[in-house]
Structure 1
Amino acid sequence: MPSIRIPRAFYASLKERGADVTVTPAASAAKLRPPRVTANDPRFHAFAQISFDVLYDWNIETGSIYYTEQIDHMLGLPSGGFPRNLQGWLEHIHPADREAARDALWESVTTGRSLYSEYRLRAADGHYVTVNEHGVVLTNRRGRATNVIGALRDITREREAQAAKREAEDLQRVLMSIPNPTWRVDSDGTYLAANPQALEFLERTLDETIGRTVRDDFPTQVYELITGPTQVGDVGVQLEVDCAVSQRHKSLMLTIIPSGMQDERTFFLLGTDITVQKALQQELARSERALRQQTMTLTDTNTALRVLLQQRDRDRIELEERIQANMEELVEPTLDRLSRLLQHRPERIELEALRSTLRDIVGPFAQHLARERPPGGPLTGREVEVANLVRLGKTTSEIAEALHISRSAVSFHRANIRRKYGLSGAPTRLSTHLTTLTRESQ
């Protein structure tokens, strides 16, 4: 059975322990020896001109690698910028992929099997390009491996699309499982999927939903955000929308989430049913408007009442002023004449009490007693008369004579007055307290 001999240069380039090793390939590999097409063959250059892939020819004996110029274009390097040797190739491979790429090459060279490998190469700007490598091993007549001829294809976009698809599928599984109305639509706004809550919200089956567009259910703004020039950004957008479902209005707080690649973009519509909440807000707004109207009405009523009370106070003051004027012009002169006539008679005390009472009726002290409610309750009419004479400094005997009541009755009324003003058992004189009330009323 033929064998493939590995030159020492191969081990040195891979930094492996060096020694020629003879490896017996599988029988199928021995029967399918590839034709010898190297970088020196015109056919190689013809392939390079019509291929979008990067073609290469690695000379195992010398360690040099010939790449077509597509390798530099693919990685954004100047012409000839990518190293043409095995060590440079290894250094440009992503550290996480380097060992697997080296092992795949080793296995292909040592077994004679075709090379299939996938790894990432570092580009000029630092990002990585994912490539798929397919190569074959060439041997000489003695079965010694001399070259590896192969091609590199940029599959970055393909892998990104696959990753985006997986991400979209994962996102769909998550979003479709949440208890909120959720739809998935394509870039034309056509429904691709809907969860049970979404079907319940729109009151239709899945078969009735798939194939329709968002224009059938949502305001034009939603359709324009998905398909128009002002598309949803990478972070999505949220808006409140109203829908007409079975001749009823429903409301959603709708979040539009982009997913997938730009040229194959889909969108998730994640909704929160706020129909009841919005109805409550509208009812609250109506109640607030009604309350404001009632407040305005009450304000107007209070204003009118204040005007009436102010007018009543003015009328009262005017009446008091007229009474006071009549007292001074008509009553006081009459009382003065009677006082002179009764100058040496006991009835004069009663006359003076009458004068004081009349003055107090129209004066602030009597008004104060009439309005005030002492802690122990309001004063009776007789107690007001007694309090007025006590304030004037009259004794119990003088008060009894003036009011034609007994001394014990006067003492009884004095005790009641002290009790009602909270003076029972206190050292405060009743006349002093009543005089203080007089000053406060003024």
Structure 2
Amino acid sequence: MKDKTKDQATHERLAQSNAGTSSDEQTRRKLQTEDALKQAHDNLERLVEERTSELSAKNRQLLEEIEERKRVEGQLRRSEEKYRHIYENIQDIYYEIGIDGIIQELSSSVERITKYTRDELIGTSVYEIYVSPEERDEFLRIIKTKGVATDHEVVMKDKDGRLVTASLYSRLVFDENGVPIKILGSIRDITKRKLAEEALRESEIKYRSIFETTAAATIIIEEDTTISLVNNAFERLSGLSKNEMEGKRSWTEFIAQDDLPKMLEYHRLRRIDQDAAPRNYEFQFVDKDGHIKDAFMTIAIIPETKKSVASISDITERKRSERALKKREKELEVKSRNLEELNTALKVLLKQREADKEELAERTLSNVKHLVLPYIEKLKKGSLESKDEAYIAIVESNLKEIVSPFSQRLSSKFMTLTPKELQVAHLIKEGRTTKEIAELLNASPGTIDFHRNNIRNKLNMKNKRANLRSYLLTLT
């Protein structure tokens, strides 16, 4: 606004000058000079304002850059602290090695794995801790040709001489001209892992041997029903080779159609809950030629997998024997019923026989008592010679013996005695001497002694001092 007022005053003076009198050249120039000075002044003020504005903007930018640098430096410091903490506490060994093999840098974790401190190893040759020069040369060949080595296994020795199996992750570092200057990377102690792998390998060999040599046909089944592994016994059972089955066939191909739906459901349930399906059951197995065999299966899920291991036994002969046994049992049951009926009839007959026997005994006893003994008594009252009396006494005694338990026990217990020996035994029991027995039986005393010896032998009394008559009396 101020500049505008000045311009108006100038023009008014010029107008007055032109109106009143004609101005001279000097006045005109003066006015031009004033205008030029004014314009220069205005330009200078504008430039000052612009420069001031630029400086203010640069100052603000500089302040922002300073703040950003402080922020970045803070982040960098925190990052350095973070990675320094990681570096110092890393489980693996971080390393930097010169192309000449001299160790340039190591993380503190080197002491935990090798028992060496950082200071003991930095500046020494890494090749000294290799156990095998061949492994060292192989690592160098890989790193030189590929520029990187991933999970490369080597064996090193620690400060105490203990062998350490390590896995190397390494790469070459190049300068700006592409020349290798060092190798950096990490070393991981995998000794425990290798020992575990070796133990697992030995375990696999052991169980593979058991798997192959077990008498039962055994297979490993995948979740999709594919047979992934079979043993020799399953080859024999199915009639197919391992190459024809492993990874190529489903176990469902060996199941009779009547059993398949049930077993497929077991297969599904077992992978949801292994207790939801039976672990042991019978089914019918079909071999490559279509022959059906009775089989018994024991199956279970392999822990932490969806695979199952199945052991199959051929029980065809056993089932055939069971069927034959059942048939035989039914036949025997029929025969048993027949025998029971026959036994009942025999019991009736035996009972009747015993009754008849008792009746006969009673009748015989009655006849002897009433029809024989009375006449003997009459004979005894008559006039008889002594010899006749003896005979009558013998007859009477024998009749009584017939109806006494002695005869029955003697004849049943000593069936081996001859009739003559039985006569001698009866007379001995009555107390007769050898001479008396000889006279009564019209035999010589030697013959009677011979019979006495035979009786003792047959009664197991040989070489015993027991009295023969006393023993015979125990049988009454």
Calculate the TM-score normalised by the size of structure 2.
Answer: 0.47
Alpha-carbon distance in structure 2 between the residues aligned to 1:107 and 1:134: 10
Alpha-carbon distance in structure 2 between the residues aligned to 1:320 and 1:292: 41
SS of 1:216 mapped into structure 2: helix
SS of 1:133 mapped into structure 2: strand
SS of 2:408 mapped into structure 1: helix
Asked whether the 8 Å contact 2:295–2:312 carries over to 1, the reply is: yes
Which of 232, 241, 253 is 1:216 aligned to? 253
Which residue number corresponds to residue 88 of structure 1? 108
SS of 2:284 mapped into structure 1: strand
> 1:371 is matched by which residue type in structure 2?
S
Summarize the Cα distance change of 1:255–1:336 in structure 2 as closer, same or farther, 3 Å threshold.
Answer: closer
The higher radius of gyration belongs to: 2
Q: How many residues align?
A: 344
Gaps of 5+ in 2: 1-71, 95-104, 116-128, 131-135, 154-165
Asked whether the 8 Å contact 2:173–2:180 carries over to 1, the reply is: no
Summarize the Cα distance change of 1:350–1:268 in structure 2 as closer, same or farther, 3 Å threshold.
Answer: closer
Per mean C-alpha deviation after superposition, the further-off stretch among 298-307 and 194-203 is 298-307
Matched ranges for 1:245-394 at <5 A: 245=287, 248-252=291-295, 269=310, 271-276=312-317, 279-280=320-321, 283=324, 312-313=353-354, 315-342=356-383, 347-373=388-414, 377-380=417-420, 384-385=422-423, 387-389=425-427, 391-393=429-431
> 1:420 is matched by which residue type in structure 2?
N
Provide Cα deviations, 1:390-409, integer angstroms capped at 9, x if missing partner: 543457887688x6x7x4x3
Per mean C-alpha deviation after superposition, the further-off stretch among 281-290 and 244-253 is 281-290
Alpha-carbon distance in structure 1 between the residues aligned to 2:202 and 2:377: 116
> 2:223 is matched by which residue type in structure 1?
S
Provide Cα deviations, 1:201-251, integer angstroms capped at 9, x if missing partner: 33568668864422232454487458622359xxxx777653134554314
Alpha-carbon distance in structure 1 between the residues aligned to 2:267 and 2:169: 41
SS of 2:169 mapped into structure 1: strand
Which residue number corresponds to residue 66 of structure 1? 83
> 1:378 is matched by which residue type in structure 2?
T
| Deviation, structure 1 residue 359 | 1.0
Alpha-carbon distance in structure 2 between the residues aligned to 1:86 and 1:251: 69
Q: Which has the higher helix share?
A: 2
SS of 1:365 mapped into structure 2: helix
> 2:284 is matched by which residue type in structure 1?
D
Summarize the Cα distance change of 1:149–1:360 in structure 2 as closer, same or farther, 3 Å threshold.
Answer: closer
Provide Cα deviations, 1:165-200, integer angstroms capped at 9, x if missing partner: 999899879967989755554321113466786455
Asked whether the 8 Å contact 2:425–2:455 carries over to 1, the reply is: no
Say whether 1:421 aligns with 2:459: no
Asked whether the 8 Å contact 1:182–1:194 carries over to 2, the reply is: yes
SS of 1:355 mapped into structure 2: helix
Which residue number corresponds to residue 436 of structure 1? 471
The structure with higher relative contact order (CA 8 Å, sep 6+) is 1
Asked whether the 8 Å contact 1:136–1:150 carries over to 2, the reply is: no
Which of 231, 236, 244 is 2:286 aligned to? 244
Asked whether the 8 Å contact 1:256–1:268 carries over to 2, the reply is: yes
Calculate the TM-score normalised by the size of structure 1.
Answer: 0.50
- What is the alpha-carbon root mean square deviation over aligned residues? 6.5
Asked whether the 8 Å contact 1:386–1:410 carries over to 2, the reply is: no
Matched ranges for 1:74-223 at <5 A: 86-91=106-111, 114-118=147-151, 133=169, 135=171, 137=173, 181=217, 183-192=219-228, 198=234, 201-203=237-239, 211-218=248-255, 220-221=262-263
Alpha-carbon distance in structure 1 between the residues aligned to 2:145 and 2:463: 128
> 1:242 is matched by which residue type in structure 2?
Q
Gaps of 5+ in 1: 1-41, 46-55, 58-63, 121-129
Which residue number corresponds to residue 23 of structure 2? none
Alpha-carbon distance in structure 1 between the residues aligned to 2:457 and 2:184: 123
Matched ranges for 1:399-418 at <5 A: 407=442, 409=443, 411=445, 414-415=448-449, 417-418=451-452
Asked whether the 8 Å contact 2:274–2:301 carries over to 1, the reply is: no
Q: What is the percentage of aligned positions where both structures have the same residue? A: 20
> 2:397 is matched by which residue type in structure 1?
S
Asked whether the 8 Å contact 1:253–1:272 carries over to 2, the reply is: yes
Alpha-carbon distance in structure 2 between the residues aligned to 1:361 and 1:174: 81
Alpha-carbon distance in structure 1 between the residues aligned to 2:208 and 2:465: 93
Alpha-carbon distance in structure 1 between the residues aligned to 2:413 and 2:438: 25
| Deviation, structure 1 residue 82 | 9.3
Alpha-carbon distance in structure 1 between the residues aligned to 2:394 and 2:236: 93
Alpha-carbon distance in structure 2 between the residues aligned to 1:373 and 1:279: 52
Which residue number corresponds to residue 25 of structure 1? none
